[in-house]
């Protein structure tokens, strides 16, 4: 069995083949195949093309199924750069849950980061507007709905500018640069298995 963690850069599709293969647009789209030369592994869950950060890949179907099953509510940690300064009411709404696509999100942990997180610059950089400040938040969610973080922040009036997943359960992005991958250490794998299979 193989277990890899990968720092997905901005603009990369979370798949090994592109459904637009052969088209003009395809030439502009990178996939996991451009970075990971390991056969037989598949991503656990997804990250949008315009999101960055931690992606777990494995050929362990049982662990994959356990991690993506919403019943178990596995934690995902994101650093989110938003437009503007969130009000206390907006932060409370995010914590309590907001309605997106007709359903309320689960309660989330939300924290305003006191300083910019230690991330490499994004390529391409986000569009800054001098007249509008930005804020970094840490969000910890226990569900993974389609474009959930972006929909949540938009719903409370603070659109997402940059989104980086930095944690998945006990796994962390730290130590990797964009485009880099590595096999999980034995300690990481033990922690991940304990996290996945010792929960109700």
Q: At what angle do helices 186-197 and 61-68 cross, to 10 degrees?
A: 60
What is the distance between the alpha carbons of residues 123 and 45, in angstroms, rounded to a whole number?
23
50 counts as catalytic: no
Query: Residue 4, SS3?
Result: strand
Q: Which residue among 48, 50, 59, 60 is the active-site one?
A: 48
What is the distance between the alpha carbons of residues 32 and 15, in angstroms, rounded to a whole number?
6
Residue among 12, 44, 6 nearest 28 (CA): 12
Residue among 174, 166, 176, 101 nearest 139 (CA): 166
Q: CA dihedral in degrees (88, 51, 76, 119; nearest 10)? A: -80
Instruction: Please give the DSSP secondary-structure letter assigned to residue 164.
Output: E
Distances (CA, A) of 86 to 80, 109, 155, 159, 161: 12, 15, 12, 10, 14
Residues with catalytic function: 48
């Amino acid at each position: 069995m193989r277990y890899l963690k990968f720092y997905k850069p901005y603009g990369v599709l979370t798949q090994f083949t592109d459904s637009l293969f052969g088209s003009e647009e395809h030439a502009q789209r990178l996939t996991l195949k451009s970075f990971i030369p390991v056969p037989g592994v598949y991503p656990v869950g997804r990250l949008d093309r315009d999101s960055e950060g931690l992606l777990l890949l494995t050929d362990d179907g049982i662990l994959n199924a356990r991690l993506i099953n919403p019943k178990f509510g596995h934690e995902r940690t994101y650093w989110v750069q938003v437009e503007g300064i969130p009000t206390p009411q907006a932060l409370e709404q995010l914590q309590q849950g907001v309605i997106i696509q007709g359903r309320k999100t689960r309660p989330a942990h939300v924290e305003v980061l006191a300083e910019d997180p230690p991330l490499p610059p994004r390529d391409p950089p986000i569009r800054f507007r001098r007249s509008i400040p930005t804020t970094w938040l840490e969000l910890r969610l226990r569900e993974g709905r389609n474009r959930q973080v972006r929909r949540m922040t938009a719903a409370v009036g603070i659109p997402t500018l940059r989104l980086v997943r930095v944690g998945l359960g006990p796994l962390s992005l730290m130590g990797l640069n964009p485009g880099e991958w590595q096999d999980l250490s034995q300690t990481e794998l033990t922690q991940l298995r304990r996290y996945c299979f010792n929960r109700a």
